[in-house]
Amino acid sequence: MLPDVEALMAANQAFYDAFEAADLDAMSEVWQHGDDVLCTHPGWATLQGWAKIVASWYAIFQNPQRLQFILTDPSPSVRGDVGWVSVTENLLDGPATSTVAAINLFVRDDRGWSMVAHHGSPVLRA
């Protein structure tokens, strides 16, 4: 794997690690904190801007049930200082399972890759 793709995949993994750990500080580290960052949780309308997005993570992390992600079909792309990863999230939510199709978009600056968009959607048919 090329070094920039490797770093992109590490940033993508850091997102899921923060999600699984319900760690708001770690999630905050993953994201850019601008007014134009975008987050679409499965079934939700799109949230724009870090203030709304961090509030959504705070609310999601209140749920005492921890999610577990098994990631499949990872497909990373890098073009200049923009990278994106398509991935299938196979979710274990206690005894329940579900599948989410996700695309994660990152921008690179001096401190590495930062998330600027996450879009997850429920897979309702095979």
Alpha-helical runs (H) found in the chain: 3-21, 24-30, 50-61
Element (H, E) at 98: strand 96-109
Instruction: Name the residue nearer to a second copy (CB basis): 21 or 70.
Output: 70
- Kindly tell me which of 2 and 124 has the beta carbon lying closer to a second copy: 124
Tokens standing for 13? 């993994």
Q: Which amino acid is at 102?
A: A
Contact string (CB under 8 A) for a second copy, positions 16-55, x = contact: --------------------x-x-x-xxxxx-x-------
Which stretches of 22-124 are DSSP H helices?
24-30, 50-61
Indicate the residue among 24 and 42 with the shorter CB distance to a second copy: 42
d(CA 53, CA 28): 10
Minimum CB separation of residue 18 from a second copy in Å reads 21
| 97 contacts a second copy (rule: CB under 8 A) | no
Output the smallest distance, CB 117 to a second copy, in A: 6
Regarding beta strands 38-40 and 47-48, do their DSSP bridges make them parallel or antiparallel, or are they unpaired? Answer: antiparallel
Binding site for a second copy (CB under 8 A): 36, 38, 40, 42-46, 48, 73, 75, 77, 79-82, 84, 86, 88, 99, 101, 103, 105, 107, 116-117, 119-126
